[in-house]
């Protein structure tokens, strides 16, 4: 169906005519208002009641048209179509004066369609169709940069609107410096990207991206800063040095721990050796020393007969006095070599004394 032409349901010899000659295809942005024009003239022959009907034509021919607004019997009926309740009105308070135009307020994308104005006044009938396309303005685009922003690398500037009626077009421009895009830049106006190969510091600057369609535009700004490439060799050398320092520190810590452990073990062994060199405390007086002391005391008495000496010559280890057994080491009797001699050797021989062998002793006083 050619919606850019004026359609008439019926031609007759009577005087009813639709006189609007404006465009039959209108594009509007969502949120705007639009006037659908439908002017008409009457003749004296048109004597019947005046009826004006606006309807939304179905996209499928099998469906019926939907009445949007109606004027009949000198009264307007504006609540036929719920989606347009409160948003559709006749342009004139008195449509029978020849103005059947309507106004749609705050149009939405779902209001897109073909609207038909039909004027009836018996016996004449005339109609006109208008195609309304409601488009959505581009939403504010989001600008971003992809890739390493370093000298010699490839960077891509991106611009994308999440909402907006197609077709959308993206335009990039540089806003500072010489305001010229780099010579190596490759633009994609549909995808909203700009690729820059082998970037240099001259690429740095402010860039603006404008997203547009037939009903509106919006834009975003992006700052690009291309920096010199880092010294890769220096970074590697620094990393190696850091690793070596960490390993050296770990080795030093292990060495200190092992040295401390070895020193502790050495001190422990020295402590044990010192304890082994200290003689144990003497718990009792040697039996041999007690016997020698007793013999000395008894030999110092007066005259002794051989029979008595024979009796004393026998070792009496089992007759040690209790006080000498428990005598502390500090009060032990001195050996014969250090004891004061009260009687000369000649006197002892004259008295018939018999020499006695003293058993050998260990350091702790025990008999070998």
Mind listing the pLDDT tens digit for each residue in 173-219?
Answer: 999 888 888 888 999 999 999 999 988 888 999 999 999 999 899 99
pLDDT for 108 equals: 93
Report how far residue 195's alpha carbon sits from residue 178's, in angstroms, rounded to the nearest whole number: 19
> What is the number of alpha carbons within 13 Å of residue 124 lying toward its C-beta?
23
- Would 32 be classed as within a structural domain? yes
pLDDT for 101 equals: 96
- Would 265 be classed as within a structural domain? no
The four Cα atoms 275, 278, 282, 286 give a dihedral, to 10 degrees, of: 130
Spatial CA neighbour of 365 closest among 295, 294, 297, 283: 283
Q: Examine the domain organization and report whether 125 and 159 are in the same domain.
A: no
- Would 33 be classed as within a structural domain? yes
- Would 237 be classed as within a structural domain? no
SS3 at position 201: helix
Q: Examine the domain organization and report whether 148 and 64 are in the same domain.
A: no
Q: Examine the domain organization and report whether 28 and 94 are in the same domain.
A: yes
In total, how many domains does the chain have? 2
Please say whether the beta carbons of 343 and 349 come within 8 A: no
Q: pLDDT tens string for the chain (368 positions)?
A: 343 333 344 444 457 899 998 889 999 999 999 999 999 998 878 788 899 999 999 877 768 889 999 999 889 999 889 999 999 999 999 998 899 999 999 999 999 999 999 999 888 889 999 999 999 999 999 999 998 888 888 999 999 999 999 999 999 999 988 888 888 899 999 999 999 998 888 899 999 999 999 989 999 999 999 888 776 566 677 888 899 899 989 998 888 988 888 887 777 777 666 555 555 555 444 444 444 444 444 444 444 444 444 444 444 444 444 444 444 444 444 444 444 445 566 666 666 666 666 666 666 556 65
pLDDT for 6 equals: 38
Q: Examine the domain organization and report whether 22 and 95 are in the same domain.
A: yes
pLDDT for 87 equals: 95
266 phi, psi to nearest 5 deg:
-65, -45
Q: Examine the domain organization and report whether 84 and 194 are in the same domain.
A: no
| Residues belonging to the chain | 368
47 phi, psi to nearest 5 deg:
-105, -10
Q: Examine the domain organization and report whether 122 and 33 are in the same domain.
A: yes
Report how far residue 300's alpha carbon sits from residue 303's, in angstroms, rounded to the nearest whole number: 9
Q: Examine the domain organization and report whether 95 and 171 are in the same domain.
A: no
- Would 89 be classed as within a structural domain? yes
Q: Examine the domain organization and report whether 153 and 124 are in the same domain.
A: no
Domain boundary, last residue among 224, 252, 277 = 224
Q: Examine the domain organization and report whether 83 and 64 are in the same domain.
A: yes
- Would 188 be classed as within a structural domain? yes
**Is the pTM of the predicted complex or chain greater than 0.75?**
no
CATH number at residue 197: 2.60.40.10
Q: Which residues pair with 157 in a beta bridge?
A: 145, 194
Q: Which residues form the domain of 191? A: 142-224
DSSP 183: T
Domain boundary, last residue among 190, 207, 224 = 224
- Would 166 be classed as within a structural domain? yes
- Would 60 be classed as within a structural domain? yes
Please say whether the beta carbons of 3 and 25 come within 8 A: yes
Q: Examine the domain organization and report whether 79 and 173 are in the same domain.
A: no
Q: Examine the domain organization and report whether 34 and 85 are in the same domain.
A: yes
Domain boundary, last residue among 199, 224, 249 = 224
Q: Which residues pair with 89 in a beta bridge?
A: 103
Q: Examine the domain organization and report whether 162 and 217 are in the same domain.
A: yes
């Amino acid at each position: 169906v050619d919606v850019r032409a004026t359609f008439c349901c019926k031609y007759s010899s009577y005087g009813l005519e639709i006189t609007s000659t404006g465009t039959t295809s209108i594009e509007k942005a969502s949120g705007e208002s639009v006037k659908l024009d439908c002017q008409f003239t009457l003749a004296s022959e048109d004597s019947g009641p005046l009826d004006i009907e606006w309807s939304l034509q179905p996209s499928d021919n099998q469906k019926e048209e939907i009445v949007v607004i109606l004027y009949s019997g000198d009264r307007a009926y504006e609540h036929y179509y719920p989606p347009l309740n409160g948003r559709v009105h006749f342009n004139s308070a008195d449509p029978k004066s020849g103005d059947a135009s309507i106004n749609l307020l705050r149009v939405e994308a779902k209001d897109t369609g073909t609207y038909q104005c039909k004027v009836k006044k018996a016996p004449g009938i005339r109609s006109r169709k208008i195609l309304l396309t409601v488009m959505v303005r581009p939403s504010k685009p989001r600008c971003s940069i992809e890739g390493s922003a370093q000298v010699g690398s490839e960077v891509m500037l991106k611009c994308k609107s999440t909402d907006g009626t197609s077709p959308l077009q993206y335009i990039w421009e540089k806003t500072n410096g010489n305001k010229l895009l780099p010579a190596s830049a490759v633009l994609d106006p549909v995808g909203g990207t700009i690729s820059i190969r082998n970037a240099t510091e001259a690429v740095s600057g402010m860039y603006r991206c404008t997203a547009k369609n037939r009903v509106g535009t919006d834009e975003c700004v992006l700052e690009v800063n291309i920096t010199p490439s880092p010294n890769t060799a220096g970074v590697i050398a620094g990393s190696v040095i850091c690793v070596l320092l960490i390993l050296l520190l770990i080795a030093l810590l292990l060495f200190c721990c092992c040295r401390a452990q070895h020193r502790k073990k050495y001190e422990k062994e020295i402590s044990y050796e010192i304890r082994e060199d200290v003689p144990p405390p003497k718990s009792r007086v040697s039996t041999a020393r007690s016997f020698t002391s007793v013999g000395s005391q008894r030999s110092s008495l007066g005259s002794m007969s051989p029979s008595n000496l024979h009796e004393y010559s026998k070792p009496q280890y089992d007759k040690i006095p209790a006080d000498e057994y428990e005598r502390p080491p500090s009060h032990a009797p001195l050996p014969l070599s250090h004891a004061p001699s009260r009687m000369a050797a000649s006197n002892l021989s004259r008295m018939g004394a018999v020499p006695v062998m003293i058993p050998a002793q260990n350091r702790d006083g025990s008999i070998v």
